[in-house]
């Protein structure tokens, strides 16, 4: 029996060449843009303009030196200065001068009310001169060690260094004490007292007896 020499042999399989193989009509082929279009779309192609860089606007930086803040800060400094500035010293006020003293002529009865009671000034007489000893009220006014001399002729008591009431003239309507019986030492002591009164106190009048020609002045 004649046999086919190719019978029983497996057919040789050749690897399919993608470039020579026929396309399967049922297989979807990948689509690629043309090479010229790919080059044109490439970022490195000279005809392609480089992408534009857009810079976002910068936000204004926040600062404390705004007009309102500067005004408020100025007001704060003004208020701080007004509070901390040294206060002005009070205007120097001149002491109120005492009312002018009118020189008067006193008699023992008219001198008596000036003994510091009832808000009256304190006067006393030494050898015919009347002194205003009101600044020394603590000594010559009510309750003071020399209160017996207030409103009276204190000449004999000062000369003798005695502040007792028996040194005073009892009869206010009678003549003044002329001190004729005092010795030299007593008169020297009296002059010393008179000098002290002249240095410290004002002379506001003179003392005359009742019925004297000047008594009504």
pLDDT mean values, one per 10 residues, the chain (217 residues) = 49 49 51 53 54 57 74 86 76 74 92 95 97 95 94 96 89 93 95 96 96 80
**Domain annotation covers residue 200:** yes
**Residue 165 domain flag:** yes
Residue written as tokens 């008169």? 187
Range of the domain at 134: 104-207
Cα(122)–Cα(134) distance, integer angstroms: 5
With respect to residue 174, please indicate whether it lies within any of the assigned structural domains.
yes
CB 51 within 8 A of CB 45: no
* Domain presence at residue 67: no
Give the position of tokens 């010559």.
140
Q: Within a 13 Å sphere around the CA of 194, how many CA atoms are in the beta-carbon half?
A: 16
Calculate the dihedral angle through the C-alpha atoms of 65, 67, 70, 75, rounding to the nearest 10 degrees: -160
pLDDT at 102: 82
**Is 93 a domain residue?**
no
Q: How many CA atoms are closer than 13 Å to the CA of 126, on its beta-carbon side?
A: 22
CB 188 within 8 A of CB 156: no
In a domain, residue 157? The reply is yes
pLDDT at 187: 96
Token pair in block for residue 38: 């790919």
Domain count, the chain: 1
Per-residue DSSP letter, 16 = P
52 in a domain, yes or no?
no
Task: Report the distance separating Cα 114 and Cα 71, nearest Å.
Answer: 70
Task: Look up the CATH number of the domain holding residue 162.
Answer: 3.10.120.10
> Is residue 23 situated within a structural domain?
no
């Amino acid at each position: 029996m004649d046999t086919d020499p190719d019978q029983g042999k497996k057919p040789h399989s050749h690897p399919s060449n993608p470039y020579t193989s026929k396309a399967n009509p049922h297989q979807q082929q990948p689509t690629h843009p043309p090479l010229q279009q790919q080059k044109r779309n490439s970022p490195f192609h000279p005809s392609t303009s480089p992408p534009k860089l857009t810079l976002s606007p910068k936000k204004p930086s926040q600062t404390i030196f705004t007009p309102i803040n500067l005004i408020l800060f100025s007001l704060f400094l003004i208020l701080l200065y007004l509070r901390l500035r040294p206060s002005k010293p009070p205007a120097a006020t001149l002491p109120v001068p005492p009312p002018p003293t009118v020189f008067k002529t006193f008699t023992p009865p008219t001198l008596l009310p000036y003994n510091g009671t009832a808000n009256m000034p304190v006067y006393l007489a030494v050898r015919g001169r009347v002194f205003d000893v009101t600044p020394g009220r603590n000594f010559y006014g009510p309750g003071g060690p020399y209160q017996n001399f207030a409103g009276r002729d204190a000449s004999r008591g000062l000369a003798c260094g005695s502040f007792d009431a028996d040194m005073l003239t009892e009869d206010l309507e009678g003549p003044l004490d002329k001190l004729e019986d005092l010795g030299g030492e007593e008169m020297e002591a009296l002059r010393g007292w008179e000098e002290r009164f002249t240095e410290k106190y004002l002379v506001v009048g003179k003392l005359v007896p009742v019925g004297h020609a000047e008594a009504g002045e």
